[in-house]
Each structure stands twice: as C-alpha cells, then as structure tokens.
Amino acid sequence: MTTTRRIGLLLLLAAALAAASCGRKGSVRELSIVPEPLFEVQREGSFTLRSSPRVSVVGVGQNSATVRYIMQSLRHSKMRPRLVPASRSSDIALALYDTVNPELADEGYLLEVRSGGVTLRANTERGLFYGFQSLLQMLPPDVTVTSYSAISLPECTVLDRPRFGWRGLQLDASHLAFSTKTIKRWVDVASAYKMNRLWLNLPSADAAYSEAELQSLAAYAAERHVGVVPMLCDSLADSAMLALFGCDAASLPQVCLTQRGGLDSARAGMRVVMSPAGCFDLAVYQADPRYQPGAEPGLTTLHTTYSYEPAPLGTNSHVEANILGGLCRMSTARMDSDRQAEYMLLPRMLAVGECLWSGRDNKDWTRFRRRVEDQKDRLGVKGYTYCEGSFTPSFTARRVDDHVANVAITTEVPNTYIFYTTDLSTPTRRSAIYMGPINLSRGTHIKILPVYKDQERDSVYEYVIK
C-alpha cells in the first residue's frame, strides 16, 4: 500500500470516527405526553435510538402521506432515517393491524419501546400519526435544534385512544389576515396535541387568500389529519369553498356555545360539539389583566380550561353519545399581531386537547401542569410564543380556632417562589419565602411577590385573611 493511499485511508477513518462521535448523547427518564394517554407504563430497561434510525413499514405504503410526514419529522429532528424492508430488523417499526383492534378504534395506537426498538401499531394512518406525536414527545425538547448521536428512551407501553372524536379550534382570520404560513404553523401545533378540526373564519370577500393558497392549506392540514371547515362571518362558506376543503355541510354537527345548552341539545337527540364560552374562549385574558396584552373582557386561566368537563359525571350514556367533542374559539378583534394570537392560543390549547382526548378519570391537574412545563420547553425551542400562566395566588384557609387560620398558597405555575410579608411592608426577594401552609391570625394583611425562573412576575398581590 502506498504512503499516499495509507494517508487517505487514515483520513477517511478519522472522518468516520468524527462523524460517529459528533452530537450529544441524550437520555429521557420520564414520559411527559400531552394529552395524557389512556394507559402508560414505564419499565426499568431502555432503548438507544441512534441518529440514523432504520424505519420499517407494514400495511401502509412507504409513500403514503403519513409515512412521508414521519420521515420528514425525523429529519427535522436532526436524524437521518432510512426505510428498510419489513423483513429486516429496524429501530422504528410502523404497522397497521391486519384485523381491526377494537381497543384502538380509528384514532388510537399502541406504542411500545423495548430494548430492541420502537414498535408503533394502529388500525389507521391517523392512529399511526397520533402515536408518532407521542413518540416525538418522548425525545429531548431541543431535538429539532440539537444533533444527538444517540437518545436513550425508557422501555414503556402506551395504549391510547381519544375520548371524543371531534377536537377542534375555531380561528378567526377575518380581522387579522394571517398568512397561510402562519395558519400552517398553528395546524402543526394543533395536530401535535391531537386536535383534528380547524374552523377557519375567513374575510367576507375572501380577497386575502388565493384559491391556490387555500388549496395548499387544505392539503397541508389533511396530511396532518386536520379537517378544515371554512367560515364566512360565522356562517358556513358556500358549497364551492366547502368542496375545496372536502367539507359537506350536511355532515357538520351543531356547535353549542354553553355547557347547559349543549347538554340540553344532546338530551334532545342532537349531535353536538361543546364550546363553552367561559372555558373554551381563548380570546379573553388568561392571567391577571394588569400584566397581560390586550384581550377580550373576561378571564379564562389554563386551570379553568382544563377543569371543563363536556359530559359531567352522571350524564346519561345516551346523552353523552350525542356529544361529539368540543371546539375552542379565538376571535382576533382585539389583537394586532400573529404573535399575540399565538400567545393567546398557548398553552390553553393543550388543556383543550386533554379535555377532549383523555378520559374523565384519567385527568389530573397536578400531573398536567407538570407536563405543560415540559411542553413549554418544546414550544419555546420551536419558536412558539406562549403565556407562562397565571401567577395570581390562590388561598385556602382552614380554621384552626376563632382567631387563627391555617393558610395554603399556590399559583397556577409550578416551581414559583412566593415571597411574602405580613407587616404591611412591600415584599422583596429578601422577605420570608413560603415553604408550606402557615398559621396566620384572622385579619392579617398579607402581601405576596411571585418569582418564577429568577424573574419577578406580575406585581405584589394583597389579601386579608378572613
């Protein structure tokens, strides 16, 4: 072997070693999926997902819209996936069942991570799509901007299906003529949290969008299993535009704006979509109005949205069967930019998604708000604007005796430090810090300063203990 050739081989080997070693190693220790799955269990073992995963497909064409989306998303996550025949071993195996799995229905999935790889099964491409969204949420939050040479995933099983089949967002583009690029960006985030309907209010004259733009939007949404319903002044668009989006007016359910009216309609045998004004209206303030951008009058916090129950406990099963799902709404009459609209949308839309996807008995506010913190990291990396949450303190006072109450203080955002005073002075970061329930005399004037991520949030809140 000549010296020149030997040097060339050494350089190639060095380049190969450099390529193999580049990128960080990541490790995911705990599942943090939103909406909360129907069933999930985590085990002790792990699987290492390399930066060049082999992907196999069974029961669906390799060129199908869903498989193309999955491959594109993996590439967007700084990976170099390649399709391999189903007969060969793979890192990620996608499969449709030969016979319908009744546990999963049309949109459910079974996701399993074992030491040998990831397997995702479903009855339909929609199920594969939603299962893949859960898999993406298992990856590190910064996976779209950081090259990982390997990611350790915990062994787990996730069996999931939606509670309601109709999970929608009504977006007003009649006041702010959002670009189709912006709307597609919101279709991305809506579908990531398993929403599947977009009611789009368009300008009456429809001059803001060309037919080609609307066709492109319809196709983009369809690839993400989001059906678009065009509206003009809160009424359905004409049949020509409905056809453009693949809609049939006769098949669309009634949308009820109040919980009571919705239940009454469902009792009367009507197929309804719930859209309660006090819970699913995303145009109103979501935190203390003194410290928020302008919005519609009213207050709907993340907790308020999350607490909504479309079919309260005790609802007759026949009545509940007529509740197809829900629709959150966002008017833009008082907004002046895309970013403000996005801020109003997030993270409350995640709460809507969990209300409509997760089972009534599977919801838990404490778990949800912890997972939302993880999702904020993902949203931030992708450049989405969101509200941190409401820092308005919530008090629970338990009577100790005629003169003393035991007071517990919480905020909507976990990991918020609460500094307080009881001597009428203004609290600072040198004031007492709340560590747990405290005994205070009735009539005590308490002042509170919330601090989150090393920043003072809002201003000083004042309360009198009664």
SS3 annotation, the chain: CCHHHHHHHHHHHHHHHHHHHCCEEEECCCCCCCCCCCEEEEEEEEEEEECCCEEEEECCCCCCHHHHHHHHHHHHCCCCCEECCCCCCCCEEEEECCCCCCCCCCCCEEEEEECCEEEEEECCHHHHHHHHHHHHHHCCCCCCCCCEEEEEEEEEEEEECCCCCEEEEEEECCCCCCCHHHHHHHHHHHHHCCCCEEEEEECCCCCCCCHHHHHHHHHHHHHCCCEEEEEECCEECCHHHHHHCCCCHHHCCEEECCHHHHHHHHHCCCCEEECCCCCCECCEECCCHHHCCCCEEEECCHHHHHHCCCCCCCCCHHHHHCEEEEEEEECCCCCCCHHHHHHHHCCHHHHHHHHHHCCHHHCCHHHHHHHHHHHHHHHHHCCCCCCCCCCCCEEEEEECCCCEEEEEEECCCCCCEEEEECCCCCCCCCCEECCCCEEEECCCEEEEEEEECCEECCCCEEEECC
| pLDDT beyond 70 at 398 | yes
For the stretch 323-380, pLDDT in tens is 999 999 999 988 999 999 999 999 999 999 999 999 898 899 999 999 999 999 999 9
User: Residue 33's closest CA among 103, 87, 111?
Assistant: 111
In this structure, of 145-149, 245-249, 256-260, 435-439, the range with the lowest mean pLDDT score is 256-260
- Greater confidence (237 vs 134) lies with 134
| pLDDT beyond 90 at 165 | yes
> How many CB atoms sit inside 10 A of residue 267's CB?
14
| pLDDT beyond 50 at 16 | no
Residue 214 confidence class, pLDDT cut points 50, 70, 90: very high
| pLDDT beyond 60 at 13 | no
| pLDDT beyond 70 at 114 | yes
Q: What is the pLDDT of residue 248?
A: 81
Residue 21 confidence class, pLDDT cut points 50, 70, 90: very low
For the stretch 402-445, pLDDT in tens is 999 999 999 999 999 999 999 999 999 999 999 999 999 999 99
Q: What is the pLDDT of residue 240?
A: 87
What is the residue whose two structure tokens read 């079974």?
Answer: 110
Q: What is the pLDDT of residue 237?
A: 84
For the stretch 37-92, pLDDT in tens is 999 999 999 999 999 999 999 999 999 999 999 999 999 999 999 999 998 999 99
Name the percent of the chain lying above pLDDT 70: 94
- Greater confidence (252 vs 11) lies with 252
Residue 260 confidence class, pLDDT cut points 50, 70, 90: low
Q: What is the pLDDT of residue 253?
A: 82
Q: What is the pLDDT of residue 9?
A: 46
Average pLDDT, the chain: 91
Mean pLDDT within 394-409: 94
Mean pLDDT within 263-268: 89
Q: 428 and 419 in contact (C-beta within 8 Å)?
A: yes
| pLDDT beyond 80 at 261 | no
